Protein backbone atom coordinates (compact mmCIF):
# COMPACT_ATOMS: atom_id res chain seq x y z
CA UNK A 1 0.00 0.00 0.00
CA UNK A 2 1.54 3.32 -1.03
CA UNK A 3 1.75 6.00 1.64
CA UNK A 4 1.95 9.70 0.83
CA UNK A 5 2.33 12.57 3.26
CA UNK A 6 2.19 16.35 3.29
CA UNK A 7 1.89 19.17 5.80
CA UNK A 8 -0.95 21.67 5.64
CA UNK A 9 -0.68 25.05 7.32
CA UNK A 10 -3.92 26.67 8.48
CA UNK A 11 -3.79 30.44 8.95
CA UNK A 12 -4.45 31.75 12.48
CA UNK A 13 -8.09 31.56 13.48
CA UNK A 14 -9.96 33.06 16.42
CA UNK A 15 -11.00 30.87 19.29
CA UNK A 16 -13.85 28.58 18.24
CA UNK A 17 -14.75 25.71 15.94
CA UNK A 18 -13.85 26.21 12.27
CA UNK A 19 -14.66 24.09 9.22
CA UNK A 20 -11.47 23.09 7.39
CA UNK A 21 -12.89 20.36 5.16
CA UNK A 22 -12.19 22.34 1.97
CA UNK A 23 -8.60 23.06 3.04
CA UNK A 24 -8.04 19.33 3.55
CA UNK A 25 -9.70 18.44 0.23
CA UNK A 26 -7.49 20.96 -1.60
CA UNK A 27 -4.35 19.49 -0.01
CA UNK A 28 -5.57 15.99 -0.91
CA UNK A 29 -5.43 16.93 -4.61
CA UNK A 30 -1.61 16.96 -4.56
CA UNK A 31 -1.67 13.17 -4.01
CA UNK A 32 -3.35 12.68 -7.40
CA UNK A 33 -6.49 10.70 -8.10
CA UNK A 34 -6.89 8.00 -5.46
CA UNK A 35 -9.58 5.39 -6.06
CA UNK A 36 -9.79 4.33 -2.42
CA UNK A 37 -7.78 5.01 0.70
CA UNK A 38 -7.64 6.43 4.20
CA UNK A 39 -6.53 9.94 5.05
CA UNK A 40 -5.19 10.43 8.55
CA UNK A 41 -5.12 14.08 9.67
CA UNK A 42 -3.00 14.94 12.72
CA UNK A 43 -2.66 18.38 14.33
CA UNK A 44 0.82 19.18 15.67
CA UNK A 45 -0.36 21.27 18.62
CA UNK A 46 -1.46 20.68 22.22
CA UNK A 47 -3.95 23.54 22.51
CA UNK A 48 -6.08 22.86 19.42
CA UNK A 49 -7.88 19.74 18.26
CA UNK A 50 -9.78 18.11 15.41
CA UNK A 51 -13.24 16.58 15.23
CA UNK A 52 -15.90 15.68 12.67
CA UNK A 53 -19.43 16.97 13.02
CA UNK A 54 -22.32 18.95 11.51
CA UNK A 55 -21.14 21.26 8.72
CA UNK A 56 -24.34 23.01 7.60
CA UNK A 57 -25.64 25.03 10.55
CA UNK A 58 -23.11 27.48 12.09
CA UNK A 59 -25.03 27.46 15.38
CA UNK A 60 -23.69 23.94 16.00
CA UNK A 61 -20.14 25.32 16.07
CA UNK A 62 -21.23 28.11 18.43
CA UNK A 63 -22.91 25.55 20.70
CA UNK A 64 -19.73 23.46 20.75
CA UNK A 65 -17.72 26.50 21.87
CA UNK A 66 -20.28 27.42 24.54
CA UNK A 67 -20.48 23.86 25.87
CA UNK A 68 -16.72 23.34 26.08
CA UNK A 69 -16.24 26.72 27.78
CA UNK A 70 -18.84 25.72 30.37
CA UNK A 71 -17.40 22.21 30.80
CA UNK A 72 -13.76 23.40 31.02
CA UNK A 73 -13.75 26.90 32.55
CA UNK A 74 -10.85 29.34 32.66
CA UNK A 75 -9.25 30.31 35.98
CA UNK A 76 -10.21 27.14 37.84
CA UNK A 77 -8.54 27.44 41.25
CA UNK A 78 -6.98 23.96 41.00
CA UNK A 79 -5.01 24.65 37.76
CA UNK A 80 -1.25 24.63 38.36
CA UNK A 81 -0.23 25.31 34.73
CA UNK A 82 -1.08 29.04 34.54
CA UNK A 83 2.08 30.77 33.23
CA UNK A 84 0.79 31.08 29.66
CA UNK A 85 -2.53 32.74 30.52
CA UNK A 86 -5.98 31.72 31.66
CA UNK A 87 -6.91 30.08 28.34
CA UNK A 88 -3.87 27.79 28.16
CA UNK A 89 -4.68 24.95 30.59
CA UNK A 90 -8.34 24.82 29.47
CA UNK A 91 -7.05 24.62 25.87
CA UNK A 92 -4.92 21.59 26.72
CA UNK A 93 -7.85 19.87 28.45
CA UNK A 94 -10.24 20.58 25.55
CA UNK A 95 -7.67 19.30 23.05
CA UNK A 96 -7.31 16.07 25.03
CA UNK A 97 -11.08 15.60 25.21
CA UNK A 98 -11.57 16.05 21.47
CA UNK A 99 -8.32 14.53 20.19
CA UNK A 100 -5.43 15.32 17.92
CA UNK A 101 -6.46 13.40 14.81
CA UNK A 102 -9.24 12.17 12.56
CA UNK A 103 -9.20 9.47 9.89
CA UNK A 104 -11.38 9.82 6.82
CA UNK A 105 -12.12 7.53 3.88
CA UNK A 106 -11.12 8.73 0.41
CA UNK A 107 -13.07 7.58 -2.63
CA UNK A 108 -12.37 8.70 -6.21
CA UNK A 109 -9.99 11.40 -4.99
CA UNK A 110 -12.44 13.00 -2.55
CA UNK A 111 -13.23 12.74 1.13
CA UNK A 112 -16.06 10.27 1.55
CA UNK A 113 -17.92 11.91 4.43
CA UNK A 114 -21.62 12.07 5.16
CA UNK A 115 -23.89 14.71 3.69
CA UNK A 116 -23.77 16.91 6.79
CA UNK A 117 -20.27 16.06 8.03
CA UNK A 118 -17.27 18.35 8.06
CA UNK A 119 -13.88 18.49 9.72
CA UNK A 120 -13.45 21.12 12.43
CA UNK A 121 -10.27 22.77 13.57
CA UNK A 122 -11.09 23.40 17.21
CA UNK A 123 -9.09 26.44 18.27
CA UNK A 124 -8.97 26.66 22.04
CA UNK A 125 -6.60 29.64 22.48
CA UNK A 126 -7.58 33.30 22.32
CA UNK A 127 -4.55 34.38 20.26
CA UNK A 128 -3.14 31.31 18.58
CA UNK A 129 -0.84 31.30 15.60
CA UNK A 130 -1.04 29.22 12.45
CA UNK A 131 -1.74 25.52 12.97
CA UNK A 132 0.03 22.69 11.17
CA UNK A 133 -1.63 19.47 10.12
CA UNK A 134 0.11 16.34 8.87
CA UNK A 135 -1.95 14.56 6.21
CA UNK A 136 -1.02 10.92 5.59
CA UNK A 137 -2.77 9.07 2.79
CA UNK A 138 -2.68 5.29 2.61
CA UNK A 139 -4.13 3.88 -0.59
DSSP string of 2-33? -EEEEEEEE----SEEEE-HHHHHHHHGGG--
Per-residue pLDDT of the chain in tens (139 residues, 90 and over written 9): 689 999 999 999 999 999 999 999 999 999 998 999 999 999 999 999 999 999 999 999 999 999 999 999 999 999 999 999 999 999 999 999 999 999 999 999 999 999 999 999 999 999 999 999 999 999 9
Structural domains of the chain sorted by starting position, each given as residue range(s) with its CATH number in brackets? 3-138 (2.60.120.460)
Amino acid sequence: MPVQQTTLSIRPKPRGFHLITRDIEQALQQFGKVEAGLLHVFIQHTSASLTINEDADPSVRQDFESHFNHMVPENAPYYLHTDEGPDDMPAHLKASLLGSSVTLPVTDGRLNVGTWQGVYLCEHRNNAGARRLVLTLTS
